[in-house]
Amino acid sequence: MATSFSRLLSSRRNLGILSLVGAGSVTAAFLLHREHVTAGVPVRRRYPASAEYPDLRKHNNCMASSLTPAIYSKLCDKATPNGYTLDEAIQTGVDNPGHPFIKTVGMVAGDEESYEVFADLLDPIIKERHNGYDPRTMTHPTDLDASKIQSGQFDDRYVLSSRVRTGRSIRGLSLPPACTRAERREVERVVVDALSGLKGDLKGKYYSLTQMTEQEQQQLIDDHFLFDKPVSPLLTCAGMARDWPDARGIWHNNEKTFLIWVNEEDHTRVISMEKGGNMKRVFERFCRGLKEVEHLIQERGWEFMWNPRLGYILTCPSNLGTGLRAGVHVKLPLLSKDARFSKILDNLRLQKRGTGGVDTAAVGGVFDISNLDRLGQSEVQLVQTVVDGVNYLIECEKRLEKGQDIKVPPPHQTGVGLV
């Protein structure tokens, strides 16, 4: 990252927009060296912090667990250089008390600097959400070398499809909760311009949500690529659906195996997928595509938001680090009915979802199985965890088919960042 940073300083920039961004990008430059981020002009209040402190008594989310009156008092008058405030960052958590069984994060970042200016609140949230990862003392490893993956080809009789997704944010532009229309349009311009430079199996086309034809829309729906205006109050209360569908769109390669969402919950969501169980190839294309896109935006003077303590910076603290969810749709009708299923998944550091994605139910014994962790381990480590874990689950399923017994594996151990 240090070399790309120096390249950034010396490369010719698109003066039109970057001269306007000015101070923000200079400030961003210091983040790599963990220097203090200058907060914006303090927000002036009519009421003391104690009168403004939210009522969180019925709340069950990470923000509510960590936001003490003392922390609120310390941070409520601060703003990031772009003017994003604490109240804006926590609004989604105040408006969505959560569920006794499902603990949401309850806070978002409006820009890269949010993670610095509001560190007193975000650091404990990150620690809770990411299994003890302490941003104050630890560093996050990034590794996009897909060649390191072993045994990454699953049994196609069980694994119906394989997918890896992550997000990337464009440094210097505010994130979806806070971005202005101009910034959002700039994200779209930068990304679409870069994607038009992809070649070979990555060559593809962009479909703007405001301009796609009826046929294009229908095709994207049939391919299960089309994303819609967020309806979840977790997202809408954070302001991410503003100005919909302005500057939103979908890009995918001609082969429909590499897909990018522009300006949905993050600046970009990058997805590599294919039918069947060749996770290694999916991950290889993922890494290759990401590196290509990064190279293309750097040529134009841009870069991704990243730093050594938090990895890739995304809107939701739950997606920091790798922002990576690698998963499969896999048939586990017998194993899923076994009482030990949840424990096995836990120990393998995997999670299950229904085949409609987060908060959906499984259909026909087919589950979406993916990594639990995002921060503190590299992309290669997480994908290997999924590969090893899914192979183990398939073994279990096969054993159960034969009437043999299965064993709960010991808790999965990996190195960096885990307590």
Partner 1 sequence: MAKNCHNDYKMKFSVDDEFPDLSLHNNHMAKVLTKDIYAKLRGKSTPSGFTVDDVIQTGVDNPGHPFIMTVGCVAGDEESYEVFKELLDPVISDRHGGYKPTDKHKTDLNFENLKGGDDLDPNYVLSSRVRTGRSIKGFTLPPHNSRGERRGIEKLSIEALASLDGEFKGKYYPLDGMTDAEQEQLIADHFLFDKPVSPLLTCAGMARDWPDARGIWHNENKTFLVWVNEEDHLRVISMQKGGNMKEVFRRFCVGLQKIEEIFKKHNHGFMWNEHLGYILTCPSNLGTGLRGGVHVKLPKLSTHPKFEEILTRLRLQKRGTGGVDTASVGGVFDISNADRLGSSEVEQVQLVVDGVKLMVEMEKKLEKGESIDGMIPAQK
Annotated binding site for ATP: 161-165, 224, 269, 325-329, 353-358
Q: Which is nearer to partner 1, 69 or 356 (CB)?
A: 69
Among 25, 61, 66, 91, binds partner 1 (CB under 8 A): 91
Residues 5-34 that bind partner 1 (CB under 8 A): 20-22, 24
214 contacts partner 1 (rule: CB under 8 A) = no
196, amino acid identity: S
Is 72 or 133 the residue whose CB approaches partner 1 more closely?
72
- The stretches of 162-213 forming alpha helices (DSSP H) are 181-195
Tell me which of 5, 13, 40, 418 binds partner 1, using CB under 8 A. 40
Contact status: 53 vs partner 1 (CB under 8 A): yes
User: Using CB under 8 A, which of the segments 51-59, 279-287, 291-299, 354-362 binds partner 1?
Assistant: 51-59
> Which of 93, 124 has the CB closer to partner 1?
93
Pairing of strands 204-208, 159-168: unpaired
Rounded to 10°, the helix 2-10/23-31 angle is 160
Say whether residue 236 binds partner 1 (CB under 8 A).
yes
Residues 6+ apart with CB under 8 A from 113: 27, 28, 31, 37, 80, 81, 82, 84
Amino acid (one-letter) located at 171: R
Burial of 162 (0-12, 13-18, 19+ CB in 10 A): buried
Q: What DSSP designation does 213 have?
A: -
Dihedral, 106, 111, 112, 113 alpha carbons, nearest 10: -90
Residues in CB range of 15: below 8 A, 6 or more apart: none
The answer for residues whose C-beta is within 8 angstroms of residue 324's C-beta and 6 or more apart is 164, 165, 166, 371, 374, 379, 382, 383
Segment near partner 1 (CB under 8 A), from 4-12, 27-35, 236-244, 371-379? 236-244
Binding partner 1 by CB under 8 A: which of 13, 54, 143, 414? 54
Closest distance between partner 1 and the C-beta of residue 213, in Å?
15
Q: Which of 4, 5, 29, 43 binds partner 1 (CB under 8 A)?
A: 43
| Sites of contact with partner 1 (CB under 8 A) | 20-22, 24, 40-41, 43-48, 51-55, 79, 81-84, 87, 91, 94-95, 178, 180-183, 185-186, 210, 236-237, 241-244, 246
